[in-house]
C-alpha cells in the first residue's frame, strides 16, 4: 500500500500494526553514466519488489529524495540538506506516522551519506517513542553476506556509481544509464585503515570528499562490471532480507 494513494477515510480501516516504510535517498552526482536520482530509483525499485511480496502487509511513505550529500557538492547538479535539516524533517514525518497510530517503522536507506545521521535519527526517535519499534536499514549492509558472493570486483569495486549501482540501474531504469559513458575502475586509495568499500567497511573513518575518493571522475568502484542480470541477483538478495525484516515487525506482539 502507498500512503499517499489512500484516502483519509480509507486510513480508518488500516491495521495499525502494519509496518510503515520510508525510503531516504539522494539526488547527487553518480559519475558520467548514471542519472542524479540513482539512489531514489534504487530505493524505489527495492520497495516496489518488496510490496509485490508483502501486499497489504506494508505501508510505504513517499520517499525523501533530497538528503545529505555535502561530500558530492563539487559535482554539478548535486542537491544537499544539512544534517540538522534531515533530522528535523525526517523526524517530523515519523512523528506524523506515530500520531496516526502506527508503531512499527522502517527507515530504508539507499545513500551512504545518510548512514551516520540515520543512526542519530534512530536513537533520538527511538528514545522519544519507547512504545515504537523503529529500524534503520541500509540496503548494502542488510544483505552484505549475500552481496559479497555476487560481486566480481575486488576491494573498493563496490562503492559509488559502481559495479552494484550500475547493475541495479541497468535493470530498474536502463534509460537513465548512458552506456557509452561507463568507465573503468576508479578509486584513489588512502591509509590502509581508512580504505573503504560499501560492503567491506573500513576500520576507521577518514573524511574525504567524493572528488578526492574518485580522482575527479565521480565514480568510486568498477561500473564496467555492471550487468542487468547482476542487478536482478542483487535485487533478490536485498528484497528477501527486507521482506523478512518488515514481516518480522508485523508478526511481533
74, three cell numbers: 563539487
**Nearest CB to Zn ion, comparing residues 39 and 195:** 39
Task: Fill in the per-residue mask, 199 to 238: x = in contact with Zn ion (CB under 5 A), - = not in contact.
Answer: ----------------------------------------
Residue range at the interface with Zn ion (CB under 5 A); choices 16-24, 33-41, 92-100, 177-185: 33-41
The CB-of-97 to Zn ion minimum distance in angstroms stands at 25
As a whole number of angstroms, the distance between CA 67 and CA 89 comes to: 10
Q: What is the largest CA-CA distance in the chain?
A: 57
| Nearer of residues 49 and 160 to Zn ion, judged by Cβ | 160
For residue 34, report the phi and psi dihedrals to the nearest 5 degrees.
Answer: -120, 145
Interface with Zn ion, residue 37, by CB under 5 A: no
Give the shortest CB-181-to-Zn ion separation in angstroms. 16
Least distance CB 44 / Zn ion (angstroms) = 13
The neighbour count for residue 157, using CB atoms within 10 Å, is 23
Applying CB under 5 A, among 39, 51, 163, 222 the residue interacting with Zn ion is 39
Give the other-Cβ count within 10 Å of 117's Cβ: 22
Which residues neighbour 103 within 8 Å (Cβ) at sequence distance 6 or greater? 16, 17, 131, 132, 133
Q: Which residues bind Zn ion (CB under 5 A)?
A: 38-39
Amino acid at each position: 500500500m502507498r500512503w499517499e494513494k489512500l484516502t483519509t477515510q480509507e486510513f480508518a480501516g488500516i491495521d495499525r500494526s502494519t509496518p510503515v516504510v520510508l525510503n531516504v535517498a539522494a539526488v547527487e552526482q553518480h559519475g558520467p553514466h548514471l542519472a542524479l536520482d540513482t539512489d531514489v530509483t534504487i530505493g524505489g525499485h527495492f520497495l516496489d519488489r518488496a510490496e509485490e511480496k508483502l501486499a497489504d502487509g506494508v505501508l510505504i511513505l513517499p520517499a525523501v529524495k533530497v538528503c545529505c550529500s555535502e561530500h558530492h557538492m563539487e559535482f554539478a547538479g548535486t542537491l544537499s540538506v544539512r544534517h540538522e535539516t534531515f533530522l528535523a524533517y525526517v523526524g517530523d514525518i515519523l512523528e506524523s506516522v506515530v500520531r496516526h497510530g502506527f508503531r512499527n517503522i522502517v527507515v530504508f536507506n539507499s545513500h551512504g551519506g545518510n548512514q551516520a545521521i540515520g543512526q542519530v535519527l534512530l536513537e533520538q526517535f527511538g528514545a522519544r517513542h519507547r512504545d515504537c519499534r523503529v529500524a534503520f536499514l541500509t540496503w548494502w549492509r542488510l544483505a552484505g553476506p549475500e552481496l559479497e558472493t555476487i560481486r566480481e570486483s575486488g576491494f573498493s569495486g563496490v562503492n559509488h556509481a559502481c559495479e552494484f549501482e550500475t547493475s541495479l540501474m541497468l535493470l530498474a531504469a536502463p534509460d537513465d544509464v548512458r552506456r557509452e559513458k561507463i568507465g573503468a575502475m576508479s578509486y584513489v586509495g588512502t591509509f590502509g585503515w581508512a580504505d573503504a568499500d560499501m560492503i567491506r567497511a573500513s576500520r576507521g573513518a577518514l573524511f574525504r570528499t567524493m572528488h578526492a575518493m574518485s580522482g575527479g571522475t565521480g565514480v568510486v568502484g568498477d561500473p564496467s562490471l555492471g550487468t542487468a542480470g547482476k542487478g536482478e541477483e542483487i535485487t533478490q538478495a536485498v528484497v528477501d532480507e527486507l521482506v523478512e525484516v518488515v514481516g518480522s515487525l508485523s508478526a511481533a506482539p
